[in-house]
Structure 1
Amino acid sequence: MKKHLLLVGTLAISMLSAQNNEGLKREFERQNKENSAKFDSYVAKKYGSTAKSADIQKKIEEEKANLAGFFRNKPYFYQADDQSQILNNNVDALTTAGSVAGLAGAFNGEGILYTIFDGGRIYAAHPAFSNTAGRITNKEADTNPYSAHSTGVASIVGAKSSPLTATAPDGTTSSGNAMGIALNSTMNSYRFATTTLPGNTATSNVFQKIVIAQPKISNHSYGNNAGWNIATVSGATALVWNGDYYPATATEPYATFDLQGTYFTNDQNYDNIVYTNPTNVIVKSAGNYFGMGPALPGASAAPKYYTNENGNLTLFTATDTLPATNCGNGGDCIGPGSLAKNIIVVAATEVITTNNFRYNTSTDVVKADYSSAGPRDDGGIKPDIAAPGSDIWMASTAQDTIGSVAWQINSGTSMSAPQVTGIIGLWMQIYKSMFNNADMNAATAKTLTVHSAYEAGTVGPDAWYGWGYINAKKGAELLVGKSNNTVIFNEETLNNGSTNTKIVKASGSEPLKVTISWIDPEFKLPQNISWEAAYNNRTSRLINDLDLRITDTTTNTVYMPWKLNPINPTAPAIKGDNTVDNVEQVIIDAPVTGRDYKIEIFHKGTLVNNATPGVTAPQNYSIIVTGHTAGSLGTKEGSRALSELAIAPSITKDVTNILNAPKKSTFTIYDLSGKKLQSGNINSDKESVDLSAYTKGIYIIEVKTDKDVVAKKVIKE
């Protein structure tokens, strides 16, 4: 069969030295220019070079603004992925003082700035945001329209209490509350479309805007459908195949390929941004494409099209073999851009209406039938988490430059993603309050999201719900545990050729559970790749492959992490060597009370960064351990040489001291992003460390012997 080239060059990233944001800006500017040239060629083929009507010209302008990239010569476009949920995910425990033991006060998003990337401007004058002045700042030019979708997403993140009543066409009424999660937060609003920002002369695509905005927490309820899509063609509802298709000929059988589940250039971009900016937490919708295609109820009579070589829609003939329905095997229909390793991708569920709207058991969680499912083609766990997405009450507006006050009830992963965004923002607020205004990095946010999740679907992670169902209260409890040292919740560093080891004593009252997550360098795709090579490619997209194991020190039984099977996406997760995920979790359901268990984090191959090929670099990661006794906080294997280690003073303006460390041990100082700042040898019982050159904040002092490693926090005033 002939090779069908998928021209990645339009969005491919050479990225030989994207070490900082200036490198990112240059790369995204190159992509933007190359996209523009490709788009001009596409327009000439599709619409011709003659004068165009006003309607056609408007359509061309909209397509160019929403261009997501090119697969082969085929353009793909962004599209939006459309007060019981507050109780479903336990948000009220954070917003009500005294609901979480050890957590003082209520948290409603004070001091937290969310950034919303969506289809248009948020209607800032909407009463949903009127509880505090200046809650919404639109960063786009006033010539850009307000968006019902953007306004609704923002209201899910943080609308004030807004009781509403709706009347159905049959006259029945229902009531609800469009109240959001972070009621006192602020939000910046950008379009995901390519636009010219105020003060600029050149256009900026969404990746350039993220680099400009530098958001600590951002919501992205949009994506692209790489399989079957529902569209209007010649005034009729139709199904359009967004993959590649070649009808059978006298010498060749038919061929069809798609990019559902494919890690592609937009995923590279997100991963590169987060690796370069570790405190950028990006939350993205999984998409609403499950079940679209020939098997969709009522679809048999709908006309079905594919796009030919010139970009024109072509009707499938009665003898053509149609591509399979999206997620026809129960998984594999998340599109490129929602498969990045370093972002948090959100699936949608039905709202829990039993148990006073509270989660009680995993069977309470029901997948929304439209919610796209994973995993990634290499088996990577996507989505990462699930949240309510159906029949969500939200603010709305007229889609023009004037705006208006409206409300709607809507469904989609566009509605579930901002709930997760809102919750992580509240966790960030709690984190800041407990840890001297420190930022929570992307690895810590994901580890917290995964470790705190309710079970949903089959035991362990799965292709429908990811790691489970979002649980705001449990996440807050883990932050309290971090602050009072009742759980292990650290940011640590793994050096090349090293193994980080902890010995913990099981409490026996709950499972022993360990979760790690790390920000992995982006996987660099070749600039030109065939459809065959891209389609269902099982090659791991991991660059730095960390491994987590727990060993029973009495029986020497080794417990392994979860992993999924991409060939059979609905099969329950199994336990084994995970070579594809930058999240690993090991659980011992019934550990022996009081028994010592050894936790090990090590790696395969050589740890590298994303800047210079072949250059080694340590890998930072976040870890949470629960199910151990409070006095068992990660004492290391071997001698107890570091058991008396202390850092004093723990709050200082310049110098602190490492006390009682063994001679010939070493120390390393990191900031909270994991950046290594200095290191040295310890030659006395009181080793002085000068922090005067660093900015105010929290720093980690790690002390190592040949067998032990302990990390302590110090605050620089």
Structure 2
Amino acid sequence: MRKIFIPVCTLAVITLSAQNNNESLKREFSRQNTENNERFDAYAAKLYGTERNPDVAKKIEEQRANLAGFSLNGNPYFHQSEDINQIKNSNSDFLQNGTINGLNGSFNGENIKFTVFDGGRIFGGHSLFNNAPNRITNMEASTMNYSAHATNVGGFIGAKPASLSGGGNTYNPKGIAMNSTMDSYSFQTTTLPGNASTSTVFQKILTAQPKISNHSYGTNQGWTDSDPNQPNGLVWNGNYEAGGTNIYDLQGTYYSNDQNYDQIVYNNPSYIIVKSSGNYFGMGPTGNNTPKYYKNFSVTPTQYVQFTANAANLPPNNCSLGYDCIGPGSLAKNIIVVGASDIITANDGRYTAAADVVRSSYSSAGPRDDGGIKPDITTVGTNVASGSTVEDTTGSSTYIVGSGTSYSAPVVTGIIGLWTQINKQLFNNAEFNASSAKVLTIHSASEAGNVGPDPWHGWGFINAKKGAELLVAKSNNTIIFKDEVLNSGTANRKTVTASGSEPLKVTISWIDPEYKLPAAATLTVADVYNNRASRLVNDLDLRIIDTTDNTIYYPWKLNANSPMTPATKADNTVDNVEQVVIDAPVAGRNYRIEITNKGNLVNNAGVNAPQNYSILVSGYSNEVLATQETKAASTITIAPTLTKDIVKILNAPRKAAFSVYDLSGKKLQSGTTNGDTESLDLSAFTKGIYIIEVKTEKETVSKKVIKE
């Protein structure tokens, strides 16, 4: 952070299974906690000895609370916090103000609860949260201090509007979902009220059972200026042996914390976890004026050894090649990782082109070492205002203007909350799961950086308005957005007719079983340092095939060995998101979408099992029924599909409801049929594409028509 100042009986079986799996997970996380405490005790004894004054004892316990794990060389590493432009830049105001065609009312997080895991308690008494009672529920002990950072993060999710001035600028700290509620936990290892033993953040996630949670913290495995034992110097968290040999680090490494996050989401697919990518880009000897450089050795009595002025092969700055400085814990497959960009000031704060999005200088870049795309998404996080507080048990209503991926992550969290609210309105209170939330986030993203995904911006810049419009389109049956099941060795296929008016675009995502690392005692450098072996367990494949000439279109992928090179389209074996885009499909031509898999699909116990996934398809005018579905096809016909004035509804039952929509989802005309043939006059409409929907008691039929 940088500051300026399914049937019920089936559901019961699934719920019971998740509970059993979570009990097993709780035992595993408890074992990890015990083991890490023992290792930390040994570390502290080596560093501080056994004679400790009260200040040293307090420092040790603070470090213990923030302990995230241990590197391969035995060094402990620690969680650390990572810090009305964010609203307008992301187009969230269209949702807040109720100006999305096809939706009823405005969306500000009503009846949506977020769970925030941060560096302490959110100050719920802040004036930015007083627009409704009990908006913030603190789940930690009342003896824990309120946290300025946690209050910042809570504000980006859901602060009410305010007018602030400072440095010659005017700021509005309004959050994304100002009528939402939040449960506040610390990411530190603490004893929760009513518990006898401590809980790590992973144990707390299982306790909280969050629908949507924000995690604005991370670990830095390269050069850091936040080492708790060397506050006035840069510390190299990687390995460095005498003479500048055997230099390696865990930047980009899928590690134990990533395994934990993935396992949690696999066992609990309704948990949507949003996490910051980190603020570590550029830290290092030539990127910081701090004169003291240290190497962190757990094998030496002094622990910290200062580099000499002419140290051989001094490790380079983080992301010195432009990539590879996201730390473990923000590289998991099943979570949404967020990078930060500068504020868009041109175009009245609106995105117009990829060049509008500028990566913030500090925002950590991916990809994962196997080439997996991280971050997943980007939004503004620099020079943005939020509420703050004095860090004590009383709290206060103060404000800051700051920068960090800590601030971009909760913007994405809030937007997913608003999309959830819209989804519940449109689809009988239905909620997203982790894969459907990621599909919608990625499919609706605006291009940023290189064409396709890249290590700086992920899949692009979040677009709240586009995501909402896709949900409206789903309700109008003009896109495909649903959850499906893939059985191993059996292809799932669907054929669509391209509209030709926009790219044909298909995105899938699945909750992949956690990649199981070797046991800590047997881990080697080769296992973890720049290991290009895929961390996927189930490798699904998405393809689009032109049914006329059999051209095969492949998904985006990055080159793990040259990730700054623009993404190409080829077989992707590392991401649990695949997206295929045909920029200029032939209008009226049929394209077949195929989802298959390599090898055998398994669950996270290694047993053969089908794989669920989410899919979103846009840019088509009609879904073509498969041969086996022909007999079940509707007799209702909407024709012609190209007209200057009249379109007819044929073979519909009497009093069937019909509606006419534009492509934004706005309803333009409605009525009921009076017989077998109903004529609709479109002569008063402007030239363009319209959707005619017919609903009966048994079915809903929709068709796109072109008005000349």
Alignment check: 8 A CA contact 2:225 2:231 kept: no
SS of match in other structure, 2:623: coil
Alignment check: 8 A CA contact 1:21 1:211 kept: yes
Alignment check: 8 A CA contact 1:18 1:610 kept: no
CA distance in 1, matches of 2:25, 2:635: 42
Q: Deviation of residue 464 (structure 1)? A: 0.2
CA distance in 2, matches of 1:462, 1:333: 14
Q: Deviations over 1:74-98 (max 9, x none)?
A: 111000011022110000111112x
Alignment check: 8 A CA contact 1:487 1:633 kept: no
Which residue of the partner structure matches residue 645 of structure 2? none
Which residue of the partner structure matches residue 87 of structure 1? 88
Alignment check: 8 A CA contact 1:156 1:415 kept: yes
Aligned length: 617
Which residue of the partner structure matches residue 313 of structure 1? 304
Alignment check: 8 A CA contact 2:75 2:296 kept: no
Which residue of the partner structure matches residue 243 of structure 1? 238
CA distance in 1, matches of 2:258, 2:632: 42
Q: Deviation of residue 634 (structure 1)? A: 5.4
Paired residues for 1:61-76 under 5 Å: 61-72=61-72, 73-76=74-77
CA distance in 2, matches of 1:644, 1:26: 53
SS of match in other structure, 2:322: coil
Q: Deviation of residue 232 (structure 1)? A: 7.3
SS of match in other structure, 2:614: strand
Which residue of the partner structure matches residue 208 of structure 1? 203
Alignment check: 8 A CA contact 1:81 1:412 kept: yes
Which residue among 372, 375, 379 is the counterpart of 1:387?
Answer: 379
CA distance in 2, matches of 1:133, 1:121: 17
SS of match in other structure, 1:504: strand
Give the share of equivalent positions with the same residue, in percent: 58
The letter for the 2-side match of 1:52 is R
Paired residues for 1:313-352 under 5 Å: 313-317=304-308, 318-352=310-344
Alignment check: 8 A CA contact 2:43 2:298 kept: no
How has the CA–CA distance of structure 1 residues 161 and 494 changed in structure 2, closer, same or farther, with 3 Å as cutoff?
same
SS of match in other structure, 2:232: strand
Alignment check: 8 A CA contact 1:501 1:637 kept: no
How has the CA–CA distance of structure 1 residues 590 and 191 changed in structure 2, closer, same or farther, with 3 Å as cutoff?
same
Which residue of the partner structure matches residue 225 of structure 2? 230
CA RMSD of aligned residues (A): 1.9
* TM score, norm. by length of structure 2: 0.85
Paired residues for 1:101-500 under 5 Å: 101-167=101-167, 173-231=168-226, 237-248=232-243, 254-296=245-287, 298=289, 301-310=291-300, 312-317=303-308, 318-500=310-492
The letter for the 2-side match of 1:257 is Y
Q: Deviation of residue 35 (structure 1)? A: 1.0
Q: Deviation of residue 640 (structure 1)? A: 2.9
Q: Deviation of residue 479 (structure 1)? A: 0.7
Q: Deviations over 1:632-679 (max 9, x none)?
A: 135336773443499xxxxxxxxxxxxxxxxxxxxxxxxxxxxxxxxx
Alignment check: 8 A CA contact 1:514 1:624 kept: yes
CA distance in 2, matches of 1:609, 1:644: 38
Which residue of the partner structure matches residue 539 of structure 2? 545
The letter for the 2-side match of 1:508 is G
Q: Deviation of residue 302 (structure 1)? A: 3.9
CA distance in 2, matches of 1:256, 1:642: 64
Alignment check: 8 A CA contact 1:257 1:532 kept: no
Q: Deviations over 1:179-223 (max 9, x none)?
A: 000010000000000000000011000000000000000000000
The letter for the 2-side match of 1:587 is V
How has the CA–CA distance of structure 1 residues 142 and 640 changed in structure 2, closer, same or farther, with 3 Å as cutoff?
same
CA distance in 2, matches of 1:18, 1:245: 44
Task: Give unmatched runs, 5+ long, in structure 1.
Answer: 1-16, 168-172, 647-710
Alignment check: 8 A CA contact 2:294 2:304 kept: no
CA distance in 2, matches of 1:137, 1:645: 55
**1:45 and 2:46 aligned:** yes
Deviates further, 572-581 or 318-327: 318-327
CA distance in 2, matches of 1:576, 1:235: 46
Q: Deviation of residue 533 (structure 1)? A: 2.5
CA distance in 2, matches of 1:638, 1:322: 65
Alignment check: 8 A CA contact 1:19 1:276 kept: no
Alignment check: 8 A CA contact 2:342 2:381 kept: yes
Q: Deviations over 1:608-641 (max 9, x none)?
A: 0012x3x211100000000000xx1353367734
Alignment check: 8 A CA contact 1:598 1:637 kept: no
Deviates further, 312-321 or 418-427: 312-321
CA distance in 1, matches of 2:555, 2:239: 36
Q: Deviation of residue 483 (structure 1)? A: 1.3
Q: Deviation of residue 531 (structure 1)? A: 2.2
**1:577 and 2:568 aligned:** no
Alignment check: 8 A CA contact 1:503 1:637 kept: no
How has the CA–CA distance of structure 1 residues 639 and 425 changed in structure 2, closer, same or farther, with 3 Å as cutoff?
closer
* TM score, norm. by length of structure 1: 0.84
The letter for the 1-side match of 2:603 is N
SS of match in other structure, 1:117: strand
CA distance in 2, matches of 1:515, 1:363: 24
Q: Deviation of residue 55 (structure 1)? A: 1.2
CA distance in 2, matches of 1:292, 1:580: 28
Q: Deviation of residue 31 (structure 1)? A: 0.8
SS of match in other structure, 2:157: helix
Alignment check: 8 A CA contact 2:415 2:464 kept: yes
The letter for the 2-side match of 1:307 is F
How has the CA–CA distance of structure 1 residues 180 and 577 changed in structure 2, closer, same or farther, with 3 Å as cutoff?
same
The letter for the 2-side match of 1:281 is I
How has the CA–CA distance of structure 1 residues 85 and 498 changed in structure 2, closer, same or farther, with 3 Å as cutoff?
same
**1:635 and 2:629 aligned:** no
Q: Deviation of residue 237 (structure 1)? A: 3.2
The letter for the 2-side match of 1:265 is S
CA distance in 2, matches of 1:432, 1:454: 24
Q: Deviation of residue 19 (structure 1)? A: 6.1
Paired residues for 1:564-643 under 5 Å: 564-611=558-605, 613=606, 615-629=607-621, 632-633=622-623, 635-636=625-626, 640-643=630-633
CA distance in 1, matches of 2:211, 2:368: 26
How has the CA–CA distance of structure 1 residues 634 and 414 changed in structure 2, closer, same or farther, with 3 Å as cutoff?
farther
SS of match in other structure, 2:484: strand
CA distance in 1, matches of 2:247, 2:635: 62
Which residue among 526, 530, 534 is the counterpart of 2:524?
Answer: 530
Alignment check: 8 A CA contact 1:478 1:487 kept: yes
CA distance in 1, matches of 2:490, 2:463: 34
How has the CA–CA distance of structure 1 residues 76 and 236 changed in structure 2, closer, same or farther, with 3 Å as cutoff?
closer
SS of match in other structure, 1:309: coil
Q: Deviation of residue 416 (structure 1)? A: 0.2
Task: Give unmatched runs, 5+ long, in structure 2.
Answer: 1-17, 637-698, 702-708
CA distance in 2, matches of 1:179, 1:214: 27
Q: Deviation of residue 320 (structure 1)? A: 2.8
Q: Deviations over 1:307-354 (max 9, x none)?
A: 341471111122332112110111000000000000000000001001
